[in-house]
Amino acid sequence: MRKFELENKQAGGGCCYGVTGGAKAVFGMLGALFLSGVSENALAQCVATTDCATLGYTESSCPDGGVKCPFGDKWACLSESSGGGGDDADKPGSVNNDTDCTYGSIYYNDGVCYPEAIAGRVPIGVVVYVDQFNGEKWIMSLDELLNYRWADGREETVDIVGLDNYQSEMLAVVDVKSCDNTQILSDLGAGKYPAAEAARNYVPAGGENTAGKWCLPAAGIWNQVNIHRAEIDEAIQKARGTLFSGIYWSSSEYSEYTAWVWFSDSASFSDETKFNFSPGTGYSVRPVMRIK
């Protein structure tokens, strides 16, 4: 059984009480006060906050169990692997150990990000993009989807409304709007843009909770793979994934006729016709997902 201790927190000039020891959460606001022996005078001076984050409820869900904030939809998780804080916060493999979540780190289905393989956890991707300004992080799948067209049928010569046209590599590698691009393509209807649709429908083994979150990587993501190729390849091997081989679609459009692709063997870019393959042939798709 986990140990829960009452914690006095200052909030907005008053005070509130949360739970520490594996999860920070409120423990029955007034009930916890009296259980801990707080006097009526002290209680009268307290203004209890109802802000879930202040009380320690910071998780969107708790697959292994937790406590739900009584004032909102956030949770405080009880499992060690879910980064609930306390003694677990700085252990290797903890979600809170953010310094271990960088280029080439392995991302697991329980939300743990770590540079090494961890026995007993299921890897679902490796970190391929870290925004140094806002801290945004993306992972790429460990496996790939083969033989997809970028566009199908009459969509091959359509200039997509909402997608920018990047008509030089210098401009294309700035595009990191993977999911924005994918959403625009998906909204145009099933079957019209197979590569984006395949990425959106991707679900890794053991990562069923990530369904609907995967996207077709923009050219800028592939550029980061180029820059950090050694660390990323090493991580894929540690996680027993599939190494890059061949040509991969991006979600970045060049023009109404072509879209950007990445050549893994030469680590180079080119714009290629969206629809020029026989059935069952085409370029590969390697989905990405934002984790922070």
Of the candidates 173, 165, 178, which has an alpha carbon nearest to the alpha carbon of residue 269?
173
Question: For residue 43, is pLDDT > 50?
Answer: no
- Lowest-pLDDT range, 90-104, 153-167, 196-210? 90-104
Whole-number pLDDT of residue 51: 81
Question: For residue 29, is pLDDT > 80?
Answer: no
Whole-number pLDDT of residue 75: 65
Whole-number pLDDT of residue 276: 65
Whole-number pLDDT of residue 73: 79
Q: What is the mean pLDDT of residues 121-134?
A: 94
Question: For residue 27, is pLDDT > 80?
Answer: no
Query: pTM of whole model > 0.75?
Result: no
Q: Which residue has the higher pLDDT, 182 or 157?
A: 182
Cα separation, 169 vs 165, in Å, equals 11
The angle, 0 to 180 degrees and rounded to 10, between the axes of the packed helices 219-227 and 229-238 is 90
Question: For residue 205, is pLDDT > 50?
Answer: yes
Domain boundaries, the chain: 5-87, 125-290
Whole-number pLDDT of residue 48: 60
> In this prediction, what percent of the chain has a pLDDT beyond 90?
57
3-state SS track over the chain: CCCCEEEEEEECCEEEEEEECCCCECCCHHHHHHHCCCCHHHHHCCCCCCCHHHHCCCECCCCCCEEECCCCCCEEECCHHHCCCHHHCCCCCCCCCHHHCCCCCEEECCCCEECCCCCCCCEEEEEEEECCCCCCEEEEECCCEEEECCCCHHHHHCCCCCCCECCCHHHHCCCCCHHHHHHHHHCCCCCCCHHHHHHHCCCCCCCHHHCCCCECCCHHHHHHHHHCHHHHHHHHHHCCCCCCCCEEEEEEECCCCEEEEEECCCCEEEEEECCCCCCCCCEEECCEEECC
Of the candidates 145, 162, 246, which has an alpha carbon nearest to the alpha carbon of residue 200?
145
Q: What is the mean pLDDT of residues 205-220?
A: 96
Question: For residue 81, is pLDDT > 90?
Answer: no
